[in-house]
Amino acid sequence: MLDERAGDAALEAPNYDNEFDAIVVGAGLAGSAAALTMANRGLEPLLVERGSYPGAKNVFGGVLYTPTIRELVDLDAAPLERYVAEKRFSMLSHDDETAISLKPGEWHREPHNDSYTVYRGEFDEWFADQAVEAGATLVTETTVTGVIREGGDIVGVETDRPDGAIRAPYVVLAEGGNSLVSEGASLKSPESRENIAVAAKEVLEFPERSGVIEDRFRLVGDAGVSYQYFGEGAVGEAYGGGFIYTNGDTVSVGVAYSLEDAATKRQSPEETLNLFKSHPAVAPLLRGARTVEYGAKTIPEGGAESMPSLVHNGAVIVGDAAGLVLNNGVHLEGTNMAVESGYYAGTAIVEAAERGRTEASALESYSERLEDSFVVQNLERYAWLQDRVEEDRELLFEQLPRAIADASSEYFTMDRRPKEMHAKAAKQRVFDTLGGWKGATKLALRYRKLVK
Amino acid sequence: MSVSPQAPEIENDSMEDRLYTVKYEDPGDSHLDVKVASICADSCETADCVSICPADVWRREDGEGVPTIAYENCLECSSCRFACPYDNVSWEYPKTGAGVTYKRG
Ligand SMILES: Cc1cc2nc3c(=O)[nH]c(=O)nc-3n(C[C@H](O)[C@H](O)[C@H](O)COP(=O)(O)OP(=O)(O)OC[C@H]3O[C@@H](n4cnc5c(N)ncnc54)[C@H](O)[C@@H]3O)c2cc1C
Ligand code: SF4
Ligand code: SF4
């Protein structure tokens, strides 16, 4: 680490002009993946993190997706909490729940569908350490305040340290969704609030006795769950949902929903979270738990349409800073995209450095590889979804959850009428809500791309 | 249709209790401010900064005027920055690692 190598003087005045091959802004998943990739291939990157350690400032829901990370590091040594053995999707009306649960046996076997709950405070620090062990230099408690330009080229960064300018041939902007540096350098415009979700999250502990999590969530060993909740009972009439993830001996509970809705509903994210936790389907899972951490963050969810240009003369943008998050209600993935983009960005810089080039065209292979990867392909696949859901919001979040809950209880009603009558009435209940065959067909057509 | 009237009571901590669970070290100068006070006072009716903030940092007496900002409690979530319809929130990161620290995140 820088501090050990250069002593306290380094903290006062880093002054590492051109000592490093690249500067990575932010030691989150994207930044550390980029630094690790470069260090593995012989470059000396500097990783600059504003928190007192990597991960100290980071909040996410709970599941780290590891298909690429697993190739970069030895995950057996990583601080993982549980693997995800069950995915459950619940539709909540005001006081009903209709759920489907998926528990493929395969998920119990390595690599566990590449889905693990983690604490970012622990995982990000460990992951950044892997980059340091490979040869990267990490400096913490240092905020990058802007880029240094010469002509049209980015040639370094300004930091909040005294005399804190640092120059290097390449800058990787891995600063997350609140990307003040990229915006300040006019590499992207601030997201409009329609393209941002706000999230509030708690980590809860069960002080009463051990084994509560295993009992409540029906878990054995390291298995864990990912529960997602939609509909009126989760986050009111807003676009978004609630979630519960199990860690080793805590659970993470949160809500994430459109910032536009949150602002206009005049119900704070904290209140929305409280209501979600008190829903009759959710409260029994959390009974007796104590909050040990409360956090909040925004999520960029503009998708493919709001991705900025990823490559510039001397700089690339990766991870959340580039808007690489898939958040469509069914999937909430950003960790895999952050690592994938960091990996491709790092690779592109290594190749450009071998040819002694820094201009955008020499770094273009980063955005080309990303375009061909699941990252951009998945974002494009769902580009249409958000607008459509927005148009159908009342139907999808309010009317349908209620209709389906009513229909299920009708279908299983215990009385002396024949089953056929109940089945008919149940079907009718859903059909009325959808506007009959015509409405149902129309809706199916509108969303057919989801299963294509 | 009502199914479960007896959901167990969930104790939701007050905001004051919640903020004990995060740590704010030596904040120095506020990293939050309004850019033009008169916009808040004269033009802004809804004060979305107040309703969006998950940590009660922004408050507006009697629903009008320029909000007060209890910046020490800020979770650095950036919501207020994106929410203000007048782009009137001046937002930067707290200096040299100060601010909220999460253990778990
Ligand atoms: C509530 C919530 C739930 C989520 N749930 C999931 C989930 O379950 N699964 C999933 O895959 N994804 C989830 N995501 C998305 C995921 O967290 C992000 O996509 C991912 O963390 C992006 O990684 P990143 O490295 O790009 O950015 P970040 O993780 O945000 O890292 C950015 C880093 O840069 C540092 N930094 C910022 N600015 C500066 C600066 N100027 N100078 C120095 N350092 C700076 C920050 O301190 C931070 O360490 C969730 C997000 C949220 C908010
Ligand atoms: S929303 Fe913007 S303009 Fe309105 S009170 Fe808040 S900071 Fe001022
Ligand atoms: S950044 Fe988040 S916690 Fe801080 S004042 Fe703004 S809305 Fe509130």
- pLDDT 10s digits, A328-348: 878 899 999 999 999 999 999
A5: its two tokens = 């190598």
> pLDDT higher for A294 or B7?
A294
Which atom of ligand 3 has the smallest separation from the CA of B71? Answer: 5
Confirm if A156 and A142 have CB atoms less than 8 A apart: no
pLDDT tens per residue, range A253-265: 999 999 999 998 8
Q: Is B53 in the pocket of ligand 2 (CB under 6 A)?
A: no
- The number of helices, as runs of H, and strands, as runs of E, in chain B is 4, 6
pLDDT tens per residue, range A412-447: 989 899 989 998 998 899 889 988 888 888 888 888
With 70 as the cut, is the pLDDT of residue A168 above it?
yes
How high is the mean pLDDT of chain A? 92
A250: its two tokens = 């805590």
Q: Is B44 in the pocket of ligand 3 (CB under 6 A)?
A: no
Q: If you measure CA to CA, which chain B residue comes closest to A253?
A: B105
Task: Kindly indicate the confidence band of residue A229, based on its pLDDT and cuts at 50, 70 and 90.
Answer: very high
Length of chain B: 105
Which atom of ligand 1 has the smallest separation from the CA of A201? Answer: 1
Confirm if A233 and A279 have CB atoms less than 8 A apart: yes
Q: Which pLDDT score is estimated for A330?
A: 80
Contact with chain B for residue A429, Cβ under 8 A = no
* B76 contacts in chain A (CB < 8 Å): 57, 178
Confirm if A294 and B19 have CB atoms less than 8 A apart: yes
Residue nearest to atom 6 of ligand 3 (CA): B80
Q: Which pLDDT score is estimated for B8?
A: 80
Residue B85, preceding peptide bond in cis (omega within 30° of 0): no
With 70 as the cut, is the pLDDT of residue B83 above it?
yes
C-alpha count within 13 angstroms, C-beta hemisphere, residue A395: 15
Question: The tokens 């959390």 sit on which residue?
Answer: A286
CA angle at residue A319 from A120 to A447, to 5 degrees? Answer: 100
Count other Cβ atoms within 10 Å, centred on residue A210. Answer: 9
Three-state SS at B74? coil
Q: Which pLDDT score is estimated for B1?
A: 44
Q: Distances in Å between the alpha carbon of A197 and those of A238, A282, A301, B43?
A: 10, 22, 7, 25
Confirm if A362 and A196 have CB atoms less than 8 A apart: no
Mean pLDDT, residues A24-52: 98
Q: Is B39 in the pocket of ligand 2 (CB under 6 A)?
A: yes
Nearest by Cα to A338 from A105, A24, A78, A10: A24
Q: Is B57 in the pocket of ligand 3 (CB under 6 A)?
A: yes
**Residue B8: left (phi > 0), alpha (psi -120 to 50), or beta?**
beta
| Contacts with A113 (C-beta within 8 Å, 6 or more apart), sequence order | A83, A84, A104, A106, A107
* Strand-strand pairing, A63-65 and A115-117: antiparallel
pLDDT tens per residue, range A272-327: 999 999 999 999 999 999 999 999 999 999 999 899 999 999 999 999 999 999 98
* A60 contacts in chain B (CB < 8 Å): 105
Q: How many angstroms separate the CA atoms of A294 and A170, rounded?
A: 36
A251 backbone dihedrals φ, ψ, rounded to 5°: -120, 145
Task: Kindly indicate the confidence band of residue B2, based on its pLDDT and cuts at 50, 70 and 90.
Answer: very low
Give A 66-95 residues with CB within 8 A of chain B: 95
Task: Report the interhelical angle of A335-354 vs A360-372 (nearest 10°).
Answer: 140
Pocket of ligand 1 (CB under 6 A): A 25-31, 48-51, 54, 57-63, 65, 143-144, 174-176, 181, 199, 201, 254, 256, 297, 299, 319-321, 325, 332-336, 338; B 93
Q: How many angstroms separate the CA atoms of A274 and A30, rounded?
A: 32
With 90 as the cut, is the pLDDT of residue A111 above it?
yes
**Residue A429: left (phi > 0), alpha (psi -120 to 50), or beta?**
alpha
Give A 254-283 residues with CB within 8 A of chain B: 259, 262-270, 274, 277-281, 283
Three-state SS at A392? coil
Q: Which pLDDT score is estimated for A386?
A: 72
The Cα of B102 is separated from the nearest Cα of chain A by a number of Å equal to 5
Task: Kindly indicate the confidence band of residue A10, based on its pLDDT and cuts at 50, 70 and 90.
Answer: very low
| Contacts with A229 (C-beta within 8 Å, 6 or more apart), sequence order | A89, A90, A91, A92, A241, A242, A243, A244, A276, A279, A281, A282
Confirm if A24 and A31 have CB atoms less than 8 A apart: yes
Which atom of ligand 3 has the smallest separation from the CA of B78? Answer: 1
Q: How many angstroms separate the CA atoms of A25 and A400, rounded?
A: 44
Percent of chain A with pLDDT over 90: 75
Buried b (16+ CB within 10 A) or exposed e, A80-117: bbbbbbbbbbbbbbbbbbbeeeeeeeebeeeebbbbbb
Task: Kindly indicate the confidence band of residue A162, based on its pLDDT and cuts at 50, 70 and 90.
Answer: confident
Confirm if B94 and B76 have CB atoms less than 8 A apart: yes
Confirm if A153 and A313 have CB atoms less than 8 A apart: yes
Residue type, A332: L
A320: its two tokens = 């959340």
Q: Is A219 exposed, middle or buried (0-12, 13-18, 19+ CB in 10 A)?
A: middle
CB contact under 8 A, A141 and B17: no
Three-state SS at A169? coil
Enter the pTM of the model.
Answer: 0.92
Q: Which pLDDT score is estimated for A5?
A: 40
> pLDDT higher for A237 or A291?
A291
A369: its two tokens = 């590889």
A259: its two tokens = 């910032």
Nearest by Cα to A208 from A216, A197, A219: A216
Mean pLDDT, residues A220-236: 95
CB contact under 8 A, A56 and B102: yes
With 70 as the cut, is the pLDDT of residue A1 above it?
no
Domains defined for chain B, CATH in brackets: 26-101 (3.30.70.20)
CA A75 distance to own-chain centroid: 19
